């Protein structure tokens, strides 16, 4: 069985074709600058990469290109489109309208339209992506897989904001979280790796990438997460401020004559590591700059490690203890300095890093990096959000 996973952005479309028997990637790639001059198409299969500058005026054309390549007699991996058994679409926000992965139907697409302003940059793109795929594969089952679903097990006292309850009821303003597929995947992988039933484990999962979020997972269920109504909340990120006093934002907006949308764009795109350091949003650049004596790069890195450490402390309390801490995503998997900074001086919690194992952590595989006498396991686990989307697609569309 083969599942196509689609991740649509407003001007991009990432795709993977996954063979579910082996859970391996047959082909993957990216359509960039859709609807913009100089569109770029990338296709990887058979260990080779094909890159082409092809005009892609809209997502429909992009999807057609993907399908043509997948079935191409020279570089393709399937003989015909009928070999694609289902399509899984990544969707950022669900609101309270969808609490689990959901089959694409006219009715679910109507609800998707209703909730699209919950993630104005992302959800409209997902709708466009679904429509583009439906135009090419009208009879193939498709499933919407939301970043928020894993977090619906949070108790009310964790997801509520202390606002007028009537406004929660009317507008569903609350914590939803993000990166749910990643948190779910690495928590389940951690349990498998440790050889223990997930029901018995308390795990803190740290998805640290360009966007970062931390989750508390008890018995396989999320009980709290650092992102909020949108992915702006939590620790400071590449370009996002993370948690900030709303009054500070309002004060700044008045001083700089920014309206609400401009202020939000500023907090999402000009803050975080980039804003503090003035150097870059990329942790590799920040480390190099800090090593070269740039004190604002040092400050940004220290702020990130400190904020992440505080969430771990908070979630150890929320979980009534912790069995394992998992690091994943671009920074979590690759940046040993960040991991060391986050976990410094946590012996009192039973968390003790092995400095050597941490700095020699192998890439692309699960690795254990705690000291021999650490009560808490510390794991580095490569995330695989596409595989979770493909698995959910199989389950929801009854393809197994
Ligand atoms: P992601 O959003 O998961 O793709 O993560 C992207 C971020 O991971 C980049 O912005 C980098 O800051 C960070 N990253 C990727 N590779 C490395 C590396 N080898 N060392 C340190 N940071 C890295």
Domain match, 228 and 353 both? yes
CA distance 238 to 223: 25
Residue-wise DSSP of 260-301: HHHHHHHHHHS-HHHHHHSS-S-HHHHHHHHHTT-HHHHHHH
226 and 306 belong to one structural domain: yes
Cα(376) to ligand 1 centroid in Å equals 25
What radius of gyration do the chain's Cα atoms show? 21
Residues 230 and 343 in one domain: yes
Confidence (pLDDT) at 400:
84
Q: Which atom of ligand 1 is nearest to the CA of 238?
A: 10
Position in ligand 1 atom list of the atom nearest CA 383 = 3
Edge-first strand listing for the sheet containing 377-380: 221-225, 212-218, 202-208, 324-328, 377-380, 367-368
Within-domain flag for 187: no
| Whether residue 283 sits in one domain with residue 344 | yes
Report the alpha-carbon distance of residue 234 to residue 392 in Å, rounded: 27
- Domain hosting residue 35, numbered range: 2-146
The residue assigned the tokens 């794991």 is 379
Residue 170 lies in a domain: no
**CB half-sphere exposure, 89, CA atoms < 13 A:** 32
Q: Are residues 124 and 268 in the same domain?
A: no
Could you tell me which of 93, 58, 70 has the C-alpha nearest to residue 177?
93
| Residue owning the nearest CA to atom 8 of ligand 1 | 330
Q: 64 near 106, Cβ under 8 Å?
A: no
How far away, in angstroms, is 328 Cα from ligand 1 center? Answer: 10
Please choose, from the candidates 138, 131, 128, the residue with its C-alpha nearest in 3D space to the C-alpha of residue 9.
128
> Is residue 322 left, alpha or beta, with left meaning phi > 0 and alpha meaning psi from -120 to 50?
beta
Give me the pLDDT at residue 331, please.
97
Do 132 and 273 lie in one domain? The reply is no
Q: Please state, in angstroms and rounded to a whole number, the distance separating the CA atoms of residues 318 and 72.
A: 52
Per-residue pLDDT in tens (0 to 9) along the chain, 400 residues: 999 999 998 889 999 999 999 999 999 999 999 999 889 999 999 999 999 999 999 999 999 999 999 999 999 999 999 999 999 999 999 999 999 999 999 999 999 999 988 887 788 999 999 999 999 999 999 999 999 999 999 999 999 999 999 999 999 999 999 999 999 999 999 999 999 999 999 999 999 999 999 999 999 999 999 999 999 999 999 999 999 999 999 999 999 999 999 999 999 999 999 999 999 999 999 999 999 999 999 999 999 999 999 999 999 999 999 999 999 999 999 999 999 999 999 999 999 999 999 999 999 999 999 999 999 999 999 999 999 999 999 999 999 8
Residues 338 and 219 in one domain: yes
Q: Is 136 helix (H, G, I), strand (E, B) or coil?
A: helix
**337 near 390, Cβ under 8 Å?**
no
Flag whether 361 is in a domain.
yes
Residue 169 maps to a domain:
no
CA 245 and chain centroid, separation? 24
Q: What is the pLDDT of residue 9?
A: 87
Nearest-angstrom CA–CA distance, 337 and 354:
12
User: Going along 232-342, which residue ranges are E strands?
Assistant: 324-328
Nearest to 89 by CA among 51, 26, 37, 141: 141
How far does the centroid of ligand 1 lie from the alpha carbon of residue 281, in Å?
10
Question: Considering the domain boundaries, does residue 157 fall inside one?
Answer: no
Ligand 1 atom nearest to CA at 208: 3
Based on the structure, what is the number of domains in the chain?
2
Which tokens belong to 391? 């698995």
Angle, to 10 degrees, between the axis of helix 295-318 and the axis of helix 283-291? Answer: 120
332 and 246 co-located in one domain: yes
Q: Are 17 and 3 in contact (CB under 8 A)?
A: yes
Active-site hit among 55, 147, 295, 347: 147
Closest Cα to atom 16 of ligand 1: 330
Interatomic CA distance for residues 391 and 126, integer angstroms: 19
The residues lining ligand 1, judged by C-beta closer than 6 Å to any ligand atom, are 209-210, 238, 282-284, 329-331, 334-335
Helix (H) or strand (E) holding 206, with range, is strand 202-208
Same domain, 222 and 295: yes
- Check the CA dihedral 257-260-263-265 and report its sign: negative
- Cα(29)–Cα(136) distance, rounded to whole angstroms? 18
286 CA closest ligand 1 atom index = 12
The residue assigned the tokens 């690759």 is: 334
Tell me if 352 sits within 8 A of 373, measured CB to CB: yes
Task: Give the C-alpha separation, 4 to 15, whole Å.
Answer: 7
- Residue 375: inside a domain: yes
Cα 390 to Cα 4: distance, rounded to the nearest angstrom: 7
Whether 142 and 197 map to the same domain: the answer is: no
139 and 40 within one domain? yes
Query: Residue 229 carries which DSSP code?
Result: S
DSSP 174-189: S---S-HHHHHHHHHH
Give the CATH number for residue 136: 3.30.420.40
78 Cα: distance to centroid of ligand 1 (angstroms): 32
Q: Active-site residue 147, yes or no?
A: yes
Q: Does residue 367 lie in a domain region?
A: yes
- State whether 206 and 107 are in the same domain: no
Question: Does the reported pTM lie above 0.85?
Answer: yes
Per-residue burial over 345-361, b if 16 or more Cβ lie within 10 Å, else e, is: ebeebebbbbeebbeeb
Q: Helix, strand, or coil here: 34?
A: coil
Helix (H, G, I), strand (E, B) or coil at 147: coil
Residue 352 lies in a domain: yes
């Amino acid at each position: 069985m083969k599942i196509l996973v689609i991740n649509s952005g407003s001007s991009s479309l990432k795709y993977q074709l996954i063979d579910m028997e082996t859970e391996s990637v047959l082909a993957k790639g990216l359509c960039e600058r859709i609807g913009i001059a100089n569109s770029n198409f990338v296709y990887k299969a058979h260990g080779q990469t094909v890159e082409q500058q092809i005009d892609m005026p809209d997502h429909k054309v992009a999807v057609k290109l993907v399908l043509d390549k997948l079935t191409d007699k020279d570089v393709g991996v399937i003989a015909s489109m009928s070999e694609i058994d289902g399509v899984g679409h990544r969707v950022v926000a669900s609101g309270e309208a969808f609490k689990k992965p959901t089959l694409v139907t006219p009715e679910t697409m109507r609800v998707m339209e209703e909730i699209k302003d919950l993630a104005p940059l992302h959800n409209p793109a997902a709708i466009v992506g679904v429509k583009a795929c439906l135009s090419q594969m009208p009879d193939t089952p498709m499933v919407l897989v939301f970043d928020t679903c894993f977090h619906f097990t949070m108790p009310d006292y964790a997801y509520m904001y202390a606002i007028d309850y009537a406004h929660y009821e009317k507008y569903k303003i609350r914590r939803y979280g993000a990166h749910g597929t990643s948190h779910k995947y690495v928590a389940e992988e951690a349990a498998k790796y440790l050889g223990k039933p997930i029901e018995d484990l308390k795990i803190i999962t740290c998805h640290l990438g360009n966007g970062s979020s931390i989750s508390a997972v008890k018995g396989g269920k999320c009980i709290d997460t650092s992102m909020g109504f949108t992915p702006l909340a939590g620790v400071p990120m590449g370009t996002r401020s993370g948690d900030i006093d709303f009054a500070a934002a309002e004060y700044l907006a008045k001083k700089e004559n920014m309206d609400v949308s401009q202020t939000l764009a500023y907090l999402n795109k000009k803050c975080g590591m980039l804003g503090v350091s003035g150097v870059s949003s990329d942790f590799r650049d920040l480390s190099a700059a800090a090593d070269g004596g740039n004190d604002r790069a040092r400050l940004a890195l220290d702020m990130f490690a400190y904020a992440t450490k505080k969430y771990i402390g908070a979630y150890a309390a929320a979980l009534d203890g912790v069995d394992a801490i998992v690091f994943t995503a671009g920074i979590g998997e690759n940046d040993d300095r960040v991991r060391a900074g986050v976990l410094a001086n946590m012996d009192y919690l039973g968390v003790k890093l092995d400095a050597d194992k941490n700095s020699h952590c192998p890439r692309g595989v699960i690795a254990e990096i705690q000291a021999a006498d650490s009560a808490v396991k510390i794991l580095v686990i490569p995330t695989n959000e596409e595989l979770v989307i493909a698995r959910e697609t199989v389950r929801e569309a009854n393809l197994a």
